[in-house]
Amino acid sequence: MTSLYITPKAWKQIEQSVRKNPSLETGGVLMGYPLNDEEWLVTYASGPGPNAVHHPNAIMFDDVHLRRLVRKLSRRQRWQYIGDWHSHTVKRLSPSKGDRRTIWAKANQSIYMSSSPIMLIVGLGRQNQVQARAFILENSLREVGKIDLATRQSLRQRGGKSP
């Protein structure tokens, strides 16, 4: 079962972006590293970039900005691109046809260097809390079995590196 762990700082970055204007989609890249073959740690979640275009049912990332950001963080922090995150303004947190096209396209772009990118879809639930579903692209797009907040203690107990 594939698991995705998100540091509290990265989750806060996502939550603040979603709450800023919940009627428009937003998103960005997920940076981090694999803990092993089935577990990933997200240490950083970006915004979509200064020239992104937000719509109620779509987000067009500022790809030039995000490519530069991925290169910079890969060199400075030694993190790698592990996928994208974006919000939905509807309660349904399933990948749209456009979402599926985007993840397949990014898997083949050398700058992102991920043969199995993750797509995290977030949105506000009934109680105004941020909810999430994640999907990983391998031979096909399948749902990630577990999404959890990562703390130093929980990672140490699992034998992983601390963020």
Tens digit of each residue's pLDDT, the chain (163 residues): 789 999 999 999 999 999 999 999 999 999 999 888 889 999 999 999 999 999 999 999 999 999 999 999 988 887 899 999 999 998 889 998 888 888 887 777 666 666 678 999 999 988 889 999 999 988 788 999 999 999 776 666 555 555 4
For the segment(s) 3-158, the CATH number from 3.30.450.90, 3.40.140.10, 3.40.50.2000, 3.40.50.10260 is: 3.40.140.10
Tell the residue number behind the tokens 């509290």, with chain if given: 8
Give the separation between CA 14 and CA 8, rounded to whole angstroms: 10
Q: In the prediction, which pLDDT does 155 show?
A: 63
Tell the residue number behind the tokens 């703390």, with chain if given: 151
Give the separation between CA 59 and CA 99, rounded to whole angstroms: 10
Q: Where are the domains of the chain?
A: 3-158
| pTM of model > 0.75 | yes
User: What are the backbone angles phi and psi of residue 19, rounded to the nearest 5°?
Assistant: -75, -20
pLDDT tens-digit map of 117-155: 899 999 998 888 999 999 998 878 899 999 999 977 666
Q: In the prediction, which pLDDT does 100 show?
A: 87
Say if strands 53-55 and 39-45 run parallel, antiparallel, or are unpaired.
unpaired
